[in-house]
Amino acid sequence: MLSKFLIAVMLCGLTGCGFEPVYQAKSDQPHSLPFSLQVTGDNETAYSTYKFKQEMNTLLSTFTPPSEEKLKIKVHLTEAFGDIGYGSDASILRSQGRMVATLGIYSSKATLLHENTLDTVSSYTVNNAEEFTNLSAKNAARERLIISLASEVSREISFVIRKLEPASTQGVLASREGIKP
């Protein structure tokens, strides 16, 4: 009797502390993208390419395609960092990062529907005495660039999807948003 009571208390304690079974399927798993997303970049920007694709996956997971066909989205990333501010002794005071995304949206039949180039810029202060501080500042600027550019690209994709929707659907969406079609 005592052992059954202890087992019941342990089970309640485990569920109360946030214990989750390892092999249980979660019901709120993210669904697959309604798009085929391909993100490429230079070998030097492998982290940026990976992080950008992860950001895009989360941003695009809420979108619905305009029709039954699966759109293909291709994004090519390039990034560059350079010095933009110098002191009177020619020491570097400020650096800047720039990230460019070349976006192509294709139909399932490989017809180009939309193409655009988007870019974003972020800068950071350079401290010549501290190498770690400079590296941290550069990495933080890179993160800002990735997040900002991913949101710009997702807005562009949203705009294109709205353009591709049939006229009847646009009227319904416009009436919900209070906009004349």
Note the pLDDT tens digit of each residue in 108-147: 888 898 999 999 999 998 988 888 988 899 999 999 999 9
Task: Label residue 171 by pLDDT band (50, 70, 90).
Answer: very low
3-class secondary structure, 78: strand
Residue 166 confidence (pLDDT) above 80? no
**CA angle at residue 85 from 80 to 88, to 5 degrees?**
145
What order do you get walking across the sheet with 112-125 strand by strand?
A: 35-41, 71-86, 92-106, 112-125
Task: Label residue 77 by pLDDT band (50, 70, 90).
Answer: very high
Q: Encoding tokens for residue 122?
A: 């972020």
pTM (predicted TM-score): 0.70
Region of residue 178 (phi > 0: left; psi between -120 and 50: alpha; otherwise: beta): left
Residue 7 confidence (pLDDT) above 70? yes
